[in-house]
Structure 1
Amino acid sequence: MSIKAIGIDLAKSVFQVCVLLEDGSILWNRKVKREKLLHTLLEFPTGTLVAMESCARSHYWGRQLQQAGYQVKLIPAQHVKPMVSAQKNDANDALAICEAAFRPKLHPVPIKTIEQQDIKALRCVRQRMVEYRTALACQIRGLAGEYGVNFSTGIKLLRNQLPESVEDGDNGLSFVMRGLLLRIERELKALDEEIKAIEQEIHQLCKQQPRYQILQSIPGFGPIVAAAFVSEVGDGRQFSNGRQLAAWCGLVPKQHSTGGKTRLGSITKAGNKQLRVLLIHGARAVFAHVAKRDDRLGRWLSNLIARRGKCKAIVALANKLARIAWSMTVSGNQFELTHAFTVSK
């Protein structure tokens, strides 16, 4: 009996485990309770390939199985779904995971360390708070607008103008509305303090990562973008080159080619959404000061804007920054502007 792979369809309490043999037959495919999973897998020889779909709890089980001596592969969900040959159920999903593990050119999801998991968790909480702060600011503008009081765009201007508007007795705010705005202002300040505290904790954790400091030397890579890159990409060795990383982030054009005709469209937006958004925001930050840059980056971006326009230039710069970050992560080299950007004469 030679085992080819073990596929696990993860769940909260009951998992589906499929054991696939080298000849393509199924040894068994049955449900296993959470507390008995490790005991069940220990019946198989160490070094056996265990495949799981990358989802909630997959990194935890990946670490547990690696410690037990198994080879673990986390499969992106979009590669598992096409392998389901019949109707969707747990047994077919577990078998599809086994088959997807051997797809060519598959980029498995690296198993996150505890440190990377901590950074990821802090980033998720921070993102939720930032979104809630934005919603809170929009609510302030909407409520105050019904009384004829308008605030400028931007969270910084809102912080400055809100206390002045509450204290101004000549505007149209009622007594009840002034009290309500004071409560919301306190909530806004509390959110600012929480977000700042989380950012400091992220920074302290990321200092322990070997590539965190050098990544911040890349234009557009601040502490948050560098932290996201470190926690999501890891050592980057799951990719053969920078373009594969850019494709994984969804920063390459969609392709619809046939009959020798190549048709390229907008970016795919596949893969890691959070990292893609942060890379584009970083590119926008560089773009905001492009007129003041008289170096290779400034000239490269100016030429690109002249040819393709501002929006495409921003996405192209995000793609370029992702490739540079991958190269620096894998090689450990410092950022050099003359090597990163070349300007055609």
Structure 2
Amino acid sequence: MQIADRSEAPTAIRTDLGAIFVSLELSRSTWLITSLSPGSGEKMSKHLVRGGDIAALLERFTQLQEKTQARIGKRFEIIVIQEAGLDGFWIHRVLQSKGIDSHIVDSHIVDPASIATSRRRRRAKTDRIDGEALVRALLAYKRGEPRVCAMVKVPTPEEEDRRRLYRERKVLIAEQIEHVNRLKGLLFSQGISGYEPLRRDRWRQLEELQTGDGRLLPKHLKAQICRELNRLELLLEQIKAVEVERDALLAAEETSAPAPAALLLNIRGIGPEFAAVLWSEGLFRHFDNRRQVAAYAGLAPTPWQSGAVDREQGVSKSGNPRLRTTLIQLAWLWVRHQPRSALTLWFEARVKRNGGRLKKTTIVALARKLLVALWKYVTAGVLIEGAAMKV
């Protein structure tokens, strides 16, 4: 009886490498390059370069190819993976532009939250461990294993730049609220209430103010308030400038081929800010089905099922937070401005069935339905049932 040769253990999938797999662990000071090359077995090599040094990174890629060619006798291409983070997309774009010269066939950016990690209470975490985990995730992804990780769809530079306007406006509005609250707090400590810093006559109001005990504003307090008002006026000018740019961008879209932003502006209750956010944050992307749309906004349900336990944990909140926040705000306004739409009638019937309770939970469900309905409207022209359009 012959004994089977076990020198090569059978595997369910192919394990021979057809490329050099590289992961990048990026930080401000250093970049850790972890690679797995054909003919190196299971050993992964690690190399450090200074953060931001693209030339050293490409030189390391060349070295990996030369070493592999000397070992195998064949030149292999390189597949790169990195996590989405502070560095944005510029490194990915550099690698794509250098692809022909350095034989980089593919560059991927992965959502770090989608990579499985140990569930131990205390787990080791270092750049070396994370780099190896990225390489393993890339190998599994290229083998075609389903749901092994979530790769980020990289926007074009134009799409990325288009989002700056309303994101900057959101930051400016938050700063405006801080200055207004600070001014009101300073005055309230002197017994003064009712002063509105956003009114056009704010300077005249300031001259007429008196403390609660009948005194004029103290010298240094008034000087501080004047400086706060100067900063507030600068913010108001910047907000106005950003809104002018935003409106000009939307007007250009209306005159060109039909775009999501232009179509959204036709619906009652959706203004320039909502249209810009919905368009630039979500609806410019391609989605295969409504589940992908809801998941991208973080509005997908997250059930918890195990044996007899079956409960719902709420929405995942793992998607785009700006899009999700805007949709929930829009859902409240939708109920007000679209009272005869099928979505509003569904919301009111659901709240009534719950005895007027769980409004906040139901409005999130309405936001998910509204996003899917708007997606169908801007991509396929499916009108939202009962929705009123602007005249």
Q: 1:80 to 1:295 in 2, by over 3 A?
A: closer
CA contact (8 A) 2:92 2:107 kept: yes
Matched, 1:89 2:105: no
How far residue 75 of structure 1 moved from its aligned partner, in angstroms, is 0.9
Bigger mean CA deviation after superposition, 223-232 or 137-146: 223-232
Partner of 1:100: 137
Consecutive unaligned residues in structure 2, runs of 5 or more: 1-16, 66-74, 100-104
CA contact (8 A) 2:18 2:76 kept: no
Partner of 1:187: 231
| Sequence identity (%) | 26
Partner of 1:37: 57
1: distance between equivalents of 2:23 and 2:361? 41
CA contact (8 A) 1:324 1:340 kept: no
**In structure 2, the residue corresponding to 1:338 is in which secondary structure?**
coil
2: distance between equivalents of 1:71 and 1:234? 26
- 1:15-74 Cα distance to aligned partner (Å, 9 max, x none): 112223579724522223423223433565787432110012241112222233432221
Q: 1:17-32 residue pairs with structure 2 within 5 A?
A: 17-21=33-37, 25-32=42-49
Partner of 1:228: 277
Greater length-normalized contact order (CA 8 Å, ≥ 6 residues apart):
1
CA contact (8 A) 1:53 1:75 kept: yes
Bigger mean CA deviation after superposition, 25-34 or 208-217: 208-217
2: distance between equivalents of 1:75 and 1:19? 17
Q: 1:208-219 residue pairs with structure 2 within 5 A?
A: 210-217=259-266
Consecutive unaligned residues in structure 1, runs of 5 or more: none
Q: 1:8-157 residue pairs with structure 2 within 5 A?
A: 8-21=24-37, 25-33=42-50, 34-35=53-54, 36-41=56-61, 48-69=78-99, 70-80=105-115, 82=117, 87-101=124-138, 102=141, 104-105=146-147, 106-151=149-194
Aligned length: 333
Bigger mean CA deviation after superposition, 119-128 or 276-285: 119-128
Q: Which amino acid aligns with 1:311?
A: K
2: distance between equivalents of 1:47 and 1:217? 49
How far residue 204 of structure 1 moved from its aligned partner, in angstroms, is 4.1
CA contact (8 A) 1:10 1:58 kept: no
1: distance between equivalents of 2:238 and 2:367? 29
**In structure 2, the residue corresponding to 1:159 is in which secondary structure?**
coil
With normalisation by structure 2, the TM-score equals 0.72
1: distance between equivalents of 2:284 and 2:135? 26
Q: Which amino acid aligns with 1:96?
A: A
Bigger mean CA deviation after superposition, 68-77 or 120-129: 120-129
CA contact (8 A) 2:22 2:34 kept: yes
Partner of 2:208: 168
Partner of 2:14: none
Q: 1:197 aligns with which of 241, 253, 269?
A: 241
Partner of 2:199: 159
Partner of 2:3: none
Q: Which amino acid aligns with 1:336?
A: L
2: distance between equivalents of 1:46 and 1:62? 20
**In structure 2, the residue corresponding to 1:82 is in which secondary structure?**
coil
**In structure 2, the residue corresponding to 1:118 is in which secondary structure?**
helix
**In structure 1, the residue corresponding to 2:150 is in which secondary structure?**
coil
Q: 1:97 to 1:328 in 2, by over 3 A?
A: farther
Q: 1:311 aligns with which of 356, 360, 380?
A: 360
**In structure 1, the residue corresponding to 2:33 is in which secondary structure?**
strand
2: distance between equivalents of 1:28 and 1:246? 40
2: distance between equivalents of 1:315 and 1:296? 16
2: distance between equivalents of 1:244 and 1:314? 20
Q: 1:241-256 residue pairs with structure 2 within 5 A?
A: 241-256=289-304
2: distance between equivalents of 1:193 and 1:124? 16
1: distance between equivalents of 2:96 and 2:311? 43
Q: Which amino acid aligns with 1:15?
A: W
Aligned-residue Cα RMSD (Å) equals 3.5
CA contact (8 A) 1:51 1:74 kept: yes
2: distance between equivalents of 1:265 and 1:65? 40
2: distance between equivalents of 1:89 and 1:16? 11
CA contact (8 A) 1:51 1:75 kept: yes
CA contact (8 A) 2:210 2:217 kept: no
2: distance between equivalents of 1:286 and 1:12? 44
How far residue 191 of structure 1 moved from its aligned partner, in angstroms, is 0.7
